[in-house]
Amino acid sequence: MEHQVTNTLERIPVESAFAINSFEHAQRVAKMLASSDLVPKEFKGSVQNVMIALEISNRIGASPLMVMQNLYIVHGKPSWSSSFIIAALNACKRFSPLRFELTGEGDKMECYAWAFETSTNAKIVGPTVTMAMAKAEGWIDKNGSKWKTMPQLMIRYRSAAFFGRLYAPEILMGMHAQDEVVDMTAQVVGEEIQPGADLENGITVEALQALYNEKLNLLTKPEMERAKRILENKEVDSYQKLFKFLNEKQAA
Amino acid sequence: MRTGNFTSSEIVALMKNGKKAGELGAPAIEYVNECNMERRLGRPLEGESNARATSWGTVGEKYVFSLLGLEYSAVSKDSILHPEFDFWAGTPDSVCYEEATRTVGDIKCPFTLKSFCQLVDAWERGGIAGIRDYHKDGEKFYWQLVSNAILTGCDHGELIVFAPYKHELDAIREIARHDDTGWIFYADNEELPWLHEGAHYKNLNKFRFPIPEADKQALRKRVEECSKYLVQPFLIPQTL
């Protein structure tokens, strides 16, 4: 067991915030940044989140504040702002500044990002993003979707994200653009809660009520009363437990 | 809501008698004086404690609640006031609804194994009487539950005493990760209290007992009596 731990630590680069010789210092820096009023709310008061931002900034060579300003936590997943992706690709010096080829209008609009690779001078073209794709993937129909109001900007942002993920995944570190994550998933963006996504852990009152109705005939009288009490009194702390209990309730 | 009011966690002080029968004891007088200081200050005498034991208790409490059945309800994250007396507050951890019985609970997650063992041992020696007689904070725990039983209309009290098994530490760390208790997340196993599974002590111990109506009446009478000595609270201007 001890041997495994040593090996794991050895694999972490020395300059990493998580390296054994710099962890304590990084933790102190993280504590200071977490208490600053200038950091975004996802990082304020959260030493853990700041430590992750420090690690990322260390790996991509950007300032911690820049990383924090452009790193969004959506559904608990870190994701980059699209403008940061473009800036990071432009600054990495492996490519010329990113360019976009936009054709068509309305439903026929398409776009791809391109750049010259500096080592070979070859033109590199990213995948084409089309409005038909946006519609088929359901990005347009999301509540509050920016694809309805600013499609020309969104299509460029998405093209840049696709380009980056294909040609420079090490810069994105496997993360998606923030607007991509919003498009691909539902309900929560940061602290903003959309209608229907009532409470904890993505469990909605509606979903819980539906599950309760579905399992009603499998419940004993005390179980029914408890579930009813939790739902009627909106006992948020018990939602997770009730959800698990109802899910596991099977016909005898 | 707690500032300047009698709270369940400190209410034991009011039950201390003086040398003559029915006379208030020195701890009762001191507690009333402290409440009055808070009333004049408009703020608590002591700020929130960041001590490790306190944050361990808070995180542990959340974990314990996940282990309890659906009959347990987390009452409220905020304090509740007595329906008649606005100077009497408490923060019960749970209420358990079982047919005709309503039980108010207090979750204790001692940070040291010694404290955990002392509490369990005291119960094993004599139930709630054992805790009151043999544990240094036994009286405090008892009257806290009596007070919270009055505030929530319960007829039973329950001390829920918890220390994790080793394999539960990761789940507790996960809870700590989302709270402002990073030290638990980073702590080694040996820095935290844990039990060997299958040994004498169990992780979750529920000590339930009926609360005599006479004790509820005695507490109510004493609180009413002491309230006569409370001064009017300082009203904090909205602009401050």
How does pLDDT run across B6-61, given as a tens digit for each residue?
Answer: 999 999 999 998 888 778 999 999 999 999 999 988 888 876 565 788 889 989 99
pLDDT at A145 over 60: yes
Q: In this complex, do B74 and A223 lie within 8 Å of one another by their Cβ atoms?
A: no
**Residues 223..252 of A with a Cβ closer than 8 Å to B: which?**
223, 225-227, 229-230, 233, 235, 237-238, 240-242, 245
Q: In this complex, do B70 and A226 lie within 8 Å of one another by their Cβ atoms?
A: yes
CB B1 within 8 A of CB B81: yes
Quote ipTM for the complex. 0.79
Q: Does B177 touch chain A (CB under 8 A)?
A: yes
pLDDT at B183 over 90: no
A96 and A165 co-located in one domain: yes
CA atoms within 13 A on the CB side of B136: 5
Tokens 């990495």: give the residue. A92
Q: What's A95's DSSP letter?
A: B
CB B211 within 8 A of CB B173: no
* Cβ-nearest to B73 among A46, A238, A245: A238
Partner residues linked to B65 by β-bridges: none
Query: B97 contacts in A (CB within 8 Å)?
Result: 225-226, 229
Q: Are strands B72-73 and B6-7 parallel, antiparallel or unpaired?
A: unpaired
Alpha helices in chain A (DSSP H): 2-11, 23-34, 47-60, 64-70, 82-91, 131-136, 146-149, 151-167, 169-172, 178-184, 205-215, 221-232, 239-248
Q: A17-42 burial, b if ≥16 CB within 10 A, otherwise e?
A: bbbeebbeebbebbeebbeeeebbeb
Separation in Å, CA B177 to CA A202, A238, B142, B172, B182 = 18, 20, 33, 9, 6
CB B150 within 8 A of CB B97: no
Separation in Å, CA A198 to CA A188, A202, A233, A244, B96 = 10, 8, 14, 17, 25
A161 and A226 co-located in one domain: no
Q: Are strands B88-90 and B6-7 parallel, antiparallel or unpaired?
A: parallel
- Break chain B into its structural domains and give their ranges: 50-212
A216 and A173 co-located in one domain: no
Specify the pLDDT at position A9.
39
Q: Which residue of A has its CA nearest to B77?
A: A237
> Of B62, B109, B83, B94, which Cα lies nearest the Cα of B205?
B109
Q: What's A9's DSSP letter?
A: H
Instruction: Give dist(CA A3, CA A56) in Å, integer.
Output: 27
Residue A249 pLDDT class (50, 70, 90 cuts): confident
Instruction: Give dist(CA B46, CA B38) in Å, integer.
Output: 9
Q: Does A18 touch chain B (CB under 8 A)?
A: no
pLDDT at A142 over 50: yes
Mutant choice from A1, A32, A48 vs B, greatest count of B C-beta within 10 A: A48
Q: Does B182 touch chain A (CB under 8 A)?
A: yes
Residue A15 pLDDT class (50, 70, 90 cuts): low
* Cβ-nearest to A230 among B66, B70, B98: B70
Q: Which residue of B has its CA nearest to A240?
A: B66
Q: How many CB atoms lie within 10 A of CB B64?
A: 24
Q: Which residue of A has its CA nearest to B93?
A: A237
Measure CA B235 to chain center.
Answer: 28
pLDDT at B240 over 50: no
Give domain status of residue A30, yes or no.
no
Among residues A132, A155, A184, the one where a domain terminates is: A184
Tokens 């490790």: give the residue. B52
Give domain status of residue A244, yes or no.
yes
A112 and A169 co-located in one domain: yes
CB B11 within 8 A of CB B147: yes
- Per-residue pLDDT tens over the stretch A76-99: 667 777 778 888 788 777 888 889
A92 and A180 co-located in one domain: yes
Q: In this complex, do A47 and B97 lie within 8 Å of one another by their Cβ atoms?
A: no
Among residues A184, A214, A237, the one where a domain terminates is: A184
Q: Of A56-60, A141-145, A216-220, B208-212, which range is least confident? A: A141-145
A139 and A211 co-located in one domain: no
Q: Does A137 touch chain B (CB under 8 A)?
A: no
Give domain status of residue A118, yes or no.
yes
Range of the domain at A124: 2-7+84-184
Give domain status of residue A102, yes or no.
yes
CA atoms within 13 A on the CB side of B23: 6
Mutant choice from B62, B70, B76, B77 vs A, greatest count of A C-beta within 10 A: B70
> Of A46, A94, A98, which Cα lies nearest the Cα of A73?
A46
Among residues A134, A153, A184, the one where a domain terminates is: A184
Specify the pLDDT at position A93.
79
CB A239 within 8 A of CB B84: no
Specify the pLDDT at position A4.
41
Specify the pLDDT at position A170.
75
CB A219 within 8 A of CB B62: no
Q: In this complex, do A48 and B185 lie within 8 Å of one another by their Cβ atoms?
A: yes
How many interface pairs between A and B have CB atoms less than 8 angstroms apart? 35
Q: How many domains does chain A have?
A: 2
CB A51 within 8 A of CB A17: yes
